[in-house]
Structure 1
């Protein structure tokens, strides 16, 4: 007996503790992948974690990963190692053929959702100015091309681009290195490629060398929409064309240069509650400090440009300030209502006129009968007249019940005339009134 009481007491204390903790504001924890190495995604992740401290519903815990690259981050999401991660919009399972994934992990791709595109990552192709390359095949063929770590998705995108520009891939050697070691050197790398942001420290450090320059994908134009890179985008809708401003890195590029890029997106799983995703986006826009990489986030973006569906919470956030149906279509609705009201008014006029004409016919019949009563006499005539008056009265009341005649001043005048005729006939021939 004592043991039962002790167990019940213990259970009660556990439930009470849970209740107290719940009501003391304990927030749910979500994990977010943090890459070391000073990358844009690492900077953005830090910003997101700091901003999330303002959120009451949940908090973030960083999962530190020494591996760098959008491909690595994507794989960690597929494996369920983290709840949130920043990766590239162009990444999919097809980029992970060299990684062993279970069937369940592959199927997890269908559960991924975009929280938001965060910023654009551009393709930077850095090479010695002494090469004087005029085309991508001329630059790449026979060269050692640095593409960073194997966990990066850069190589897949770069190969697709090179094939579009008719580069013979078999004549190219791709070199994987740690991110910061992806540099143009005499003995390892001839061309260094990055998929990153304008402010990337490794890119800036290389381009501080006046002998290294950026490659322009289409030197014939400064309009991305008219460039050959736009042709590549048609077949790869998740890719965007960008302009690298002239003299951005001092000596290079000499004029605005065309390149391609992808959006860095914050991905999560679809089962994360929509209101928590809503709170996250809302707080990013509320508390993001100037100068941070997240400042380039845009509230409205085209879901068709994204490889994955947007999260339900993101849709909720985007719809928060959108005009209602009434607000969006107020003018056509107002015009429609005006037409409807005018039409209804015209219908009512027609209906009232019809009722008036109908009552007028019976009124005229009653007036003609009154004339005959005043001109003629005799018991037979009075009976006939009385029957006709009652018939007129019955017809009018039937029409009144059917709604084809309404009670108004005209009807009251008609009713007074009928009652007057009945009274007149009753006085003239009391016997005839008995048929009523």
Structure 2
């Protein structure tokens, strides 16, 4: 009997030790401090759990997302500037990446347009978050994308764009002879400012002000620019327990990461704005983040009876009025959808660059008209409106792709 007890205890002890090592793969773009962040995350998780994390340097954002969707990797650091896709979920916001637009002294920086047309531009690798963001800014400002001279050699550029963390003194020393571009004057930043207009059309972006003298002589005045959140994303099929444990561990040890950049102090918080995530939360992360949230009934139990009485009294009239208004606005957004689908379905038949550009301008005019109607409260900013804006951006990207193919064919034909 005593021997049986000893064997049983030994089995229980071995089981509790969980000798099986779980392996996960973690992909990132080697831009800014991403590699350092991923390395610290790997070290933390391996020290806390019986896991092995394999770090992979990715090619670009789209390739990294494909790896997640196809279950080839488990975790990725990705900017919150991608369209929703099945197969991936967010875990938490890491920090805000800041858009830095630097230009040489001789460049005309009187406006964003003149800056982009002034000389060789470095806007990151094609398909990178910086590149994709700049393409959207070119669309916003109505630039002819064939005019700017893009170089992939930073040393040749008169204008350099980086979407990254706050610059260190050492990093700034690499930009001697450059200045920082500001999208607006800091005193003008309000609901009517340039950056607010950009973020209205591209809501995953946020206005960002680099305070006066933060970069020493580089900004004797505040710099008005944009930022986008870097998010830890996971594949949807990853287990809830693992995502919950990883999210909890990293957010509760965020002090480890703040030495990388001050922006991580404000970024890695449990109370980050989940509504801004373009990719919905993984259930494992949601369980952790919402663990202490009281239910609606618990929070408003004392007022529940009064509120319920008021709702019942007003419900019938509100429902009727809401349905009438919603149907009226839905009919209008349907007209935009119909025109957009006609353009989208006709992309395959476009045979000249000029025709493609004409279609792009047509979509952009429709976007502007939709925003004007939204401001005039003739449309509502609901899911249908947001889906229309996403679909219109996707259509513009498809048109640009078609135009690049046509332009390439023309160049081959003439050479």
> TM-score scaled to structure 1, two decimals?
0.60
Give the superposition deviation at 1:110. 0.4
Matched residue, 1:31: 25
- Contact kept? 2:24, 2:74, Cα under 8 Å: yes
Structure 2: state its 5+ residue gaps. 1-10, 308-415
Does the CA contact (< 8 Å) of 1:33 and 1:64 recur in 2?
Answer: yes
> Tell me, what secondary structure is at the counterpart of 2:53?
strand
| Shift in Å, 1:30 | 1.3
- 1:69 CA displacement: 4.4
In 2: Cα distance, 1:227 partner to 1:114 partner: 31
Residue 217 of structure 1: how far off its partner (Å): 0.8
Q: Which residue of 2 aligns with 1:238?
A: 204
Task: Give the Cα separation in 2 of the matches to 1:154 and 1:75.
Answer: 19
Shift of residue 227 of structure 1? 1.9
Who is 1:126 aligned against? Answer: 102
Aligned residue runs from structure 1 range 279-358, under 5 A: 279-289=245-255, 290-293=258-261, 294-295=264-265, 296-332=267-303
Distance in 1 (alpha carbons) for counterparts of 2:306 and 2:199? 43
Aligned residues: 293
| Residues 141 and 169, structure 1, Cα contact 8 Å, conserved in 2 | no
Contact 1:54/1:283, CA 8 A, preserved across alignment:
no
Once the two structures are TM-superposed, the CA of residue 76 in structure 1 deviates from its matched residue by 3.1
Match of residue 267, structure 1, among 229, 233, 250: 233
Q: Which residue of structure 1 aligns with residue 352 of structure 2? A: none
Equivalent position of 1:192 in the other structure: 160
Q: What is the CA–CA distance in structure 1 between the aligned matches of 2:252 and 2:163, rounded to whole Å?
A: 29
| C-alpha contact (below 8 Å) 1:222/1:243 kept by paired residues | no
**Structure possessing the higher radius of gyration over alpha carbons:** 1
| Post-superposition offset of 1:319 | 1.0
What is the DSSP-based 3-state SS (H/G/I as helix, E as strand, rest coil) of the residue aligned with 1:171?
A: coil
Separation in 1, partners of 2:27, 2:190:
33
Structure 2 Cα separation of the partners of residues 68 and 223 of structure 1: 36
Q: Indicate the residue corresponding to 2:33 in structure 1.
A: 40
C-alpha distance in structure 2 between counterparts of 1:159 and 1:201, whole Å: 29
CA 52–225 in structure 1, closer or farther in 2 if over 3 Å, else same:
farther
TM-score, reference length from structure 2: 0.63
**Aligned with 2:294: secondary structure?**
coil
* Counterpart among 143, 149, 161 of residue 167 in structure 1: 143
Structure 1 stretch displaced more, 264-273 or 302-311:
302-311
Q: Secondary structure at the match of 2:187?
A: coil
Q: Deviations over 1:350-405 (max 9, x none)?
A: xxxxxxxxxxxxxxxxxxxxxxxxxxxxxxxxxxxxxxxxxxxxxxxxxxxxxxxx
Structure 1, unaligned runs of 5 or more: 1-17, 94-108, 337-436
**Would the alpha carbon gap of residues 280 and 200 (structure 1) be closer, same or farther in structure 2, given more than 3 Å must change?**
farther
- TM-superposed deviation, 1:158: 0.3
Does residue 59 of the first structure (1) align with residue 51 of the second (2)?
Answer: yes
For 1:78 and 1:174, how far apart are their aligned partners in 2?
A: 31
